[in-house]
Amino acid sequence: MVERPDIGRRIRDARQKNRLSQSEVVDRLMEYGISMSRETLSKIENNNRSVSAIELNALCNIFDVDMNEIFAKEPKEEDLVTFFRKKNASENTLIEIARLQDMIRTFIKHEKMYMEGLNS
């Protein structure tokens, strides 16, 4: 299965990095001759609508982002359990590492949700 980049999330991240609201982005798109509603931009950011090449080019210009960044392959994160298994850690250690890893992932997920709430 071919992994597809999360274009919508990357567009949303670029918008938030530039501290722009969806409405502000939609207004700026008009400068490029693109008429889009805030709802449509939201659908793009949530991967519920594809983005055309013309729209993507304009968004990259607005965010001052190279289009290659939008399509860049995500680095694979190494699983800590796999890492320690390679180091011949004991089964009890692997169980504890798995628990810690799950807690860290939960904290990261909650932080992302919190930050998205602040930026909305």
pTM of the model: 0.60
- Residue 118 CB neighbours (<10 A): 7
65: domain CATH number is: 1.10.260.40
Quick one: 23 and 49 in the same domain?
yes
Question: Which of 75, 76, 77, 95 lies closest to 85, judged by CA?
Answer: 95
Q: What is the pLDDT of residue 76?
A: 59
> pLDDT confidence of 11, banded at 50, 70, 90?
very high
* Amino acid at site 51: V
- Give me the torsion for CA of 110, 76, 73, 50, rounded to 10°: -40
Give 46-77 pLDDT, tens digit per residue.
Answer: 999 999 999 999 999 999 999 988 888 765 56
Quick one: 13 and 58 in the same domain?
yes
Quick one: 67 and 95 in the same domain?
no
**Structural domain of 66:** 7-71
Q: Which residue has the higher pLDDT, 112 or 35?
A: 35
Q: Are 38 and 5 in contact (CB under 8 A)?
A: no
Q: What is the pLDDT of residue 6?
A: 86
Give the pair of three-digit tokens for residue 82.
């796999």
Q: Are 55 and 34 in contact (CB under 8 A)?
A: yes
Average of pLDDT values for 71-98? 79
Rg (CA), the chain: 19
Quick one: 37 and 92 in the same domain?
no
Average of pLDDT values for 74-91? 76
